């Protein structure tokens, strides 16, 4: 039952440390009666896979999800292309650290954002566990839970050198996850304002030092107040999520997108001139206007206005570059919206 023991220790890591003794009793119960029935009734997606990711078996929740992707034969098949190489690495390294990822959704639904883990299973196989994270409240609870674990680690005394080393490894993993979550906007899952501004500052320093091209785009949803006033703030939040999904799926690497504030987004395009940024803006304006998301039974037509600015070495700072793009965005609004303008 070594695989079950590992699974129980993972559950302990995700639970309140005040319940350790109760969890040990649960481990004994699972070891005695078998974990299959318990795993079968979990709401989380659980699948047993080979070391190369080939599916062997799965629980009821994963079975219901797999019906949406019947062609998926390996674990990486249920992830987006941008994440598959990372999943293959996780399989080969047999890493037990959790990671956040998006799974393919059902038809027109948004992607499934999940907290994923690979755990040692029976006969040398691996147990894949994915728990859906789909709301601001859940993300906040995740941050609080991770921070609480960090504090509990600090309060624990060292019982032995081996135990202390294991706790140190677990604490580092929790702190890394906590920092990652703290950088993400909980509504759109893009970089939050603080992080995208820091990335902008770094890119400006890099472009200045190496005299490389850099362009940015400021995007604002047109008439967003009317969406909130007509359909309510819940519908407005869903529109923001849909725009966030489009940005994540349709910008190239190494471009970066973040929620700058309210209904405004900031895109960074390293090694790109204003012409390349304009091509991207034209494509995004069209894709967003054609999306027309269905929210609470209402088809909401959404358009955006974008302002583009190219970095001028020796002239621009990060804030002057941002101001020029912002001014160009307002010029696009004055020109009729649903368009982009390149700053001089």
**CB proximity list for 271: less than 8 A, separation 6 or greater:** 212, 213, 214, 254
- What pTM was computed for the model? 0.52
Q: Copy the structure tokens of residue 215.
A: 């362009």
Report the C-alpha dihedral over residues 135, 141, 147, 149, rounded to 10 degrees: -120
Q: Which residues are catalytic?
A: 263
Q: Which CATH architecture has domain 193-342?
A: 2-Layer Sandwich (3.30)
* Residue 307 C-alpha from the chain's centroid: 26
Distances 248 to 73, 144, 189, 259, 336 between C-alpha atoms, Å: 26, 26, 9, 11, 26
Query: For 241-285, what is each residue's pLDDT tens digit?
Result: 999 999 999 998 899 999 999 999 999 999 999 999 999 999 999
pLDDT confidence band for 226 (50 / 70 / 90): very high
According to the model, what pLDDT value does residue 294 have? 83
According to the model, what pLDDT value does residue 266 have? 98
- Nearest C-alpha neighbor of 185 from the set 262, 101, 105: 262
Domain locations along the chain? 2-134, 193-342
CA dist 62 and 47 (Å) reads 7
Whether the per-residue pLDDT at 117 is higher than 70: the answer is yes
Instruction: With beta carbons less than 8 A apart as the criterion, state whether 269 and 216 touch.
Output: yes
Secondary-structure class of domain 2-134 per CATH: alpha beta
Better-scored residue on pLDDT, 84 or 305 = 305
Better-scored residue on pLDDT, 191 or 162 = 191
pLDDT confidence band for 21 (50 / 70 / 90): low
**Strongest mean pLDDT among 131-140, 179-188, 191-200:** 191-200
Looking at every residue in the chain, the average pLDDT score rounds to 82
Please state the rounded mean pLDDT for residues 138-145. 60
């Amino acid at each position: 039952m070594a695989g079950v023991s590992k699974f129980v220790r993972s559950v302990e890591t995700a639970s309140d440390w005040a319940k350790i003794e109760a969890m040990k009793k649960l481990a004994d119960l699972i070891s005695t009666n078998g974990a299959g029935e318990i795993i079968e009734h979990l709401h989380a997606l659980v699948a047993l896979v080979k070391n190369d990711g080939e599916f062997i078996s799965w629980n009821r929740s994963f079975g219901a999800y797999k019906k949406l992707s019947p062609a998926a034969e390996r674990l990486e098949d249920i992830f987006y292309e941008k994440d598959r190489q990372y999943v293959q690495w996780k399989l080969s390294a047999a890493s037990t650290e959790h990671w956040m990822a998006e799974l393919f959704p059902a038809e027109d639904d948004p992607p499934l954002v999940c907290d994923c883990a690979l755990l040692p299973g029976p006969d040398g196989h691996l147990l894949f566990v994915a728990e859906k994270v789909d709301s601001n409240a859940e993300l906040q609870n995740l941050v609080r839970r991770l921070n609480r674990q960090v504090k509990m680690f600090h309060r624990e005394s060292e019982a032995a050198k081996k135990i202390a080393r294991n706790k140190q490894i677990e604490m580092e993993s929790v702190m890394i996850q906590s920092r990652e979550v703290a950088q993400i906007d909980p509504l759109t899952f893009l970089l939050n304002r603080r992080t995208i501004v820091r990335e902008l500052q770094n890119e400006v320093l890099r472009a200045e030092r190496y005299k490389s091209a850099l362009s940015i785009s400021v995007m604002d949803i047109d008439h967003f107040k009317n969406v909130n006033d007509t359909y309510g703030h819940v519908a407005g939040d869903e529109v923001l999520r849909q725009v966030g999904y489009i940005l994540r799926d349709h910008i190239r690497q190494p471009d970066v997108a973040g929620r700058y504030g309210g209904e405004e987004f900031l895109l960074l395009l390293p090694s790109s001139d204003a012409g390349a940024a304009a091509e991207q803006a034209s494509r995004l304006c069209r894709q967003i206007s054609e999306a027309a998301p269905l929210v609470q039974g209402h088809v909401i037509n959404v358009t955006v206005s974008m302002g583009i600015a190219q970095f001028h070495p020796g002239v621009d700072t990060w804030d002057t570059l941002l101001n020029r793009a912002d001014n160009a965005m307002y010029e696009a609004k004055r020109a009729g919206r649903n368009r982009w303008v390149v700053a001089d």
